[in-house]
Structure 1
Amino acid sequence: MEVLVNHLGYDAGGRKTAVYQGKREDRPVHFCVRREGGETVFEGIPTECGEVAQWNTGYYWTLDFSDWKGEGVFCICLETSSGTVVSESFEIRQSLITMRLINAACYYFKAQRSSGEWLHEDRSLSFDGERAGRVDAHGGWYDATGDYGIHLSHLSHGTVHNPQQASFSAYTFFKAAEELTASGNEQYTMLKRRMLDEGCFGADFLMRLRAPSGGFFRSISRANALAHVRGNRKIGFEYHGSSSQFSEKAATADEEVVNDTNYEVSLRSGGGTAIAALAAASRHYYPGTDYTRDEYLLAAKDAWHYLYENNEQYTNDGAWNLIDEYCSLLALTELFRASEEYEYLMEAGAMAERIYKRMVMEEGQKAYLTVRDGEPYYHAADEGLPVMALIEYAAVEMDKEKSNDAIKMAEMLMRHMLFVSTSVSNPFGYPRFLYKDEKGIERIQFFFPHHTAVEPWWQGENARIASLSAAARALLAVTRDMELKDALELFADQQINWIMGLNPFNSCMMEGYGRNNIQYFFNDRYDFMNCPGGICNGITSAEDNEEGIALIREPGGSVKDNWRWAEQWIPHVTWFILAEAYKRI
């Protein structure tokens, strides 16, 4: 029996909820919020939610104390049939908690900068495989706790699962700095400077990662995690039909001919977000960069024109899908912001129309996206990016009708998300999704499926839920639907709460903060320790039941490597920064 709270606390002006995890017979009837020292400042009635799916983690009630706006240190006291249950203490502050979290996340990125022997190697990289030549691609951020490689994306063989990695991280620092400026909070002054520093570090790396073709190389790969660094870092390639991530040899290695395109990005495998990052960098002067603002913008323009004309050569299936389109929409929006050239705005409008055509309309002004014909869109990391891209486009579109259309479509997508998430017992507000399983049957569930085009890859999805929090926040700022606005505010906060410990395992996912942090192990070893301020992959469905739930914390049983749950990955922190910055507090 426990009252689960956000381990750090809550924004004074935001939604404030807790969850009681107990037994059905506990029958809680009353709770109060007490200030440190014992003063009761708020009283309320718990809302019964019941059990969740096949989690088998208890019976749930939610406790809402959003109406309390005072600052300080507090706890919750809940009266149940079994006695009084008291939560751990937490803070309520105007903006200090948000500042602390963004600050921690920024320091995580600085700690992940390629340096030392890795940096030395990256100044002169050869290619994995037969391609000749060397590349100076120094800079960038290590991808994950156990992966000192640097990637713009991966999982390209799965066609519809590409995550946005280092290139989107670079873009995020510029966008987050803009959102902090828009907040009007002068206390963000130093944070903004550090964000511009980090964003320019990422932009300089992307400039070096440019390929002679006009696009970008996708990845700096590394050999065995514990191997010598010298000579073992390469410009990597991807096969089109399989991956060697979980085996010594990719399944299609003997069938495929690797050429120059296998080393380079498509718009969906990091190219679109790299263009967006460079265009954004051109608008933000920061001392100490290796390139000028004009050079950033020219590189972004050249990359866009090349990849738009040749994208099919770089996709694994020779076709565009939704991921190419929303990454392109973001790129075009930023190109227009930076250049003010009307052609980019017209192209952005056309790209938005392509996205609209992928929407399946539902009753109640709801809709969901298809990633390609007949296949509902869901994503382990970037599910909020289509909505965010539409909102960013709406902000620059000068035709009021077109701008309103983009907002309307974003509203419909988020109504669908809210509907599928609230149509079952869901005390934590965790986002569910519609997908088509390996047999072609449409299903709705909480966690990323085990059987997809990228299996055996599946993992916790803290990036996904943070991206949806960011999308909700972005839409909050522009929607006129007050009922939707209220629901979005709660939904946005619930995703951050989950990451910060308000989850069935009472585990804070940000290393060094909160309680019950999880550590990454493989083969019963802890060689790769998580970094303070970083965020682990997080909670998944159970290993043998996709309606269940799991967070594997300790060695033992069938799990020899708990990367699915414990490994940190930069997209989690990237989206977390953006979700917090979009609060504008």
Structure 2
Amino acid sequence: MTFSPTVLNFNKLMLITMLLLIAACSSKPQVTNPPNLVSAKIYINQVAFDVQAPKSAVVVLPIGETASRFIVYQNENIIYQGNLKSQPSFTEWGKGAHYYLADFSLIKRRGDFHVVVNTPKQQLASSTFTIKHHAYFVLTAKSLINYFKAKRHSNPKDKSIRIKGTERYVDVSGGWLDSGGNANKSLAQFPQSNFLVSQQDAMTTWALAKSYNKLSRLYDRQALTLYLAEEVIWGADYLHRILDNNGYFYTKIIDGSVADDERLVSNYDALNDKYTTNFQAAFREGGGMAIAALVRAYEISNKTGVQGEFSAKQYLTDAERAFAHLQKYNLRYVDNGKENIIDDYSALIAATELYRITRKTKYLKAARHRAHNLNSRMTSQGWFVSDDDERPFFHAVDAGLPIIALVDYLAIERDRQITAKTKRTIRLSLDYQLALNTRVANPFNLARQTFKTSTVRLKPKQQEGFFMPHANEIGQLWQGESARMASLSAAAIWGGKITHRDTHGAFSINNKLASFAQSQVDWIMGKNPYQVSMLYGFGVNNPPHSKSAGTMINGGISSGITGATLNADGRGITWAEGPDENNWRWVEQWLSHSTWYLLAMTAMTE
């Protein structure tokens, strides 16, 4: 994510500096704010399960206290009884507990339920959850759209904003705010990181339109089509405005420094705490997703008849002009002068969308080039190489986007040899993720990742872990990873339908991959060691309010749980440890979290 360069943001930067200094001087990193594992608990998705989805709870008992069975109740009636499955010893987040798995996937009945476990000492009861058809769509889609609408930026001052380094003023009104704690608008976060760049505003436009394309009947049935289309068009109108006459998009519109609060078309280098004129968005800096979003907006405007300030035809014209520009100048705009995996999957999505609508051969050729690059980046082990230095691809936000880019590309590709190579890439990646998750005890089935950074605080070797390493190239991007988990859930389902298909399985994929996909959403919705549902307004326990995190909105998703604060490699665990001015790191809602949940929800419902 990113810090807004405001007074609040200055305090955040000071906090980061202190944390980094403490960590650098600490010879023994500590596990901060660990969950209470010495008391018996049932960890469960507090919101819902689809009828056909995998369904399970994690039961934690103190060492010495045992149980063998669990019961599922609907109201006061026993619906199902099953055996608890003992899990391997798990000490990653603290000792003194034993973990069990309660699997009740066989329940297909609709209604409200709860799980009960009896031990010789006590009776445990879970929170109540719902089972129903299209559960996440029916329960959360409207709130998601309302969240995006609430995040609209409508300040009229953005109709005339100066471009940094010039006396030129432009209309950059519209768009959505990045988060609850600042007034920034971004196509991408942390472009100066090169390998950790995450997609923002355009990604939301694209995701909304993609969701409608896949679930149009449900949106129509729930009378949500108009509201969703209006958000897509709101996003597309903004993208038109931030497309410069020269053919590039502006990466950011941000508030000024503490000394000068002028709002600018600019960029912010968090590494060096300075504003820059490097605001031209490369493919990986939101340019690719902006092109794809405009194509999707063209399609949905024509399909629904919803139109904004600009025409559907204008959106497609913008997309083609911007793509031609980046094909020629992308290397000029990337911060380190080299393309990497993020350019590849962003440009692939853009080219795929353009070919899908226009059927122009040049876009298929461009898509094949980028797909070839991605396929070539896949190792025999199953992880992607980010660059020429054999750095594994890992990401705190868009971890599933390379696979989704390849899945969408396969829909336009007819060459059997290329198709086979692409399917192999998807299969290797998904198999590697499943293997990575089982290399260590992992009772929550939380998505692990392989990482390597160039920072001196972290050993320059390839490692594995549950959370983002704190010692990454920007030293800041270790907020919770709700978006990463949702992105991997969507990738597992859409990719799995191609390479791990099972027409009788949940989400039409095999059981292991379906359980992985469900587990990531379960974690977001409360099946985590802190029993917090990050989806605000849903579940029993929601994130606390925090002044530093800004406004909390129903349908918004908090960043979430992280590795322990002082651990450079992201090991251990912590959540909202306080004080209030620090809690933005875990509690703050970001556009990308709800955007990725929207895509995961779409994949689980389709």
What is the TM-score when the length of structure 2 is the normalising length? 0.87
| Residue 334 of structure 2: aligned partner | 315
Mapped contact 2:175–2:234 kept (Cα < 8 A):
yes
Q: Does 1:511 align with 2:523?
A: no
Q: 1:64 aligns with which of 76, 81, 103?
A: 103
| Residue 463 of structure 1: aligned partner | 483
Partner deviation per Cα, 1:492-516 (whole Å, 9 max, x = no partner)? 1111111111100000101122122
Gaps of 5+ in 1: none
Write the distance in 2 (CA, Å) between the matches of 1:276 and 1:163. 15
Write the distance in 1 (CA, Å) between the matches of 2:229 and 2:215. 12
Alpha carbons of structure 1 residues 188 and 551: separation in structure 2 relative to 1, 3 Å: farther
Match for 2:266: what amino acid?
Answer: G
Q: 2:187 aligns with which of 129, 152, 155?
A: 152
Secondary structure of the equivalent of 1:76? strand
Q: Does 1:442 align with 2:442?
A: no
Alpha carbons of structure 1 residues 500 and 143: separation in structure 2 relative to 1, 3 Å: same
| Residue 548 of structure 1: aligned partner | 572
Alpha carbons of structure 1 residues 84 and 49: separation in structure 2 relative to 1, 3 Å: farther
Write the distance in 2 (CA, Å) between the matches of 1:81 and 1:360. 50
Q: What is the correspondence of 1:225-374 to structure 2 with a 5 Å cutoff?
A: 232-239=262-269, 243=271, 249-250=273-274, 259=277, 262-285=278-301, 286-362=305-381, 366-374=382-390
Write the distance in 2 (CA, Å) between the matches of 1:238 and 1:544. 26
Write the distance in 2 (CA, Å) between the matches of 1:2 and 1:164. 37
Count of equivalent residues: 553
Match for 1:548: what amino acid?
Answer: G
Q: What is the correspondence of 1:21-420 to structure 2 with a 5 Å cutoff?
A: 21-56=60-95, 58-115=97-154, 119-128=155-164, 130-181=165-216, 185=218, 188-223=221-256, 232-239=262-269, 243=271, 249-250=273-274, 259=277, 262-285=278-301, 286-362=305-381, 366-420=382-436
Mapped contact 1:384–1:468 kept (Cα < 8 A):
yes
Write the distance in 2 (CA, Å) between the matches of 1:103 and 1:189. 9
Alpha carbons of structure 1 residues 480 and 75: separation in structure 2 relative to 1, 3 Å: closer
Q: CA deviation at 1:48?
A: 2.1
Cα RMSD (Å):
2.2
Match for 1:197: what amino acid?
Answer: E
Percent identity of paired positions between Structure 1 and Structure 2 = 30
What is the TM-score when the length of structure 1 is the normalising length? 0.90
Match for 1:194: what amino acid?
Answer: Y
Q: CA deviation at 1:185?
A: 4.3
Q: Does 1:577 align with 2:577?
A: no
Secondary structure of the equivalent of 1:477? helix
Partner deviation per Cα, 1:336-388 (whole Å, 9 max, x = no partner)? 111111221122111100111111112xxx44443443101100100000000
Match for 1:121: what amino acid?
Answer: K
Alpha carbons of structure 1 residues 111 and 56: separation in structure 2 relative to 1, 3 Å: farther
Alpha carbons of structure 1 residues 434 and 28: separation in structure 2 relative to 1, 3 Å: same
| Residue 523 of structure 2: aligned partner | 498
Partner deviation per Cα, 1:550-572 (whole Å, 9 max, x = no partner)? 0015427xxx3222101111000
Which piece of structure 1 moves more, 24-33 or 349-358?
Answer: 24-33
Q: 1:432 aligns with which of 437, 441, 448?
A: 448
Gaps of 5+ in 2: 1-39
Secondary structure of the equivalent of 2:605? coil
Match for 2:338: what amino acid?
Answer: A
| Residue 6 of structure 2: aligned partner | none
Alpha carbons of structure 1 residues 224 and 27: separation in structure 2 relative to 1, 3 Å: farther
Q: CA deviation at 1:37?
A: 2.3
Q: CA deviation at 1:158?
A: 1.3
Write the distance in 2 (CA, Å) between the matches of 1:397 and 1:453. 36
Match for 2:522: what amino acid?
Answer: N
Q: 1:8 aligns with which of 41, 44, 47?
A: 47
Write the distance in 1 (CA, Å) between the matches of 2:129 and 2:554. 20
Alpha carbons of structure 1 residues 371 and 413: separation in structure 2 relative to 1, 3 Å: farther
Write the distance in 2 (CA, Å) between the matches of 1:14 and 1:528. 35
Mapped contact 2:427–2:500 kept (Cα < 8 A):
no
Alpha carbons of structure 1 residues 55 and 324: separation in structure 2 relative to 1, 3 Å: farther
Mapped contact 2:251–2:285 kept (Cα < 8 A):
yes
Match for 1:422: what amino acid?
Answer: T
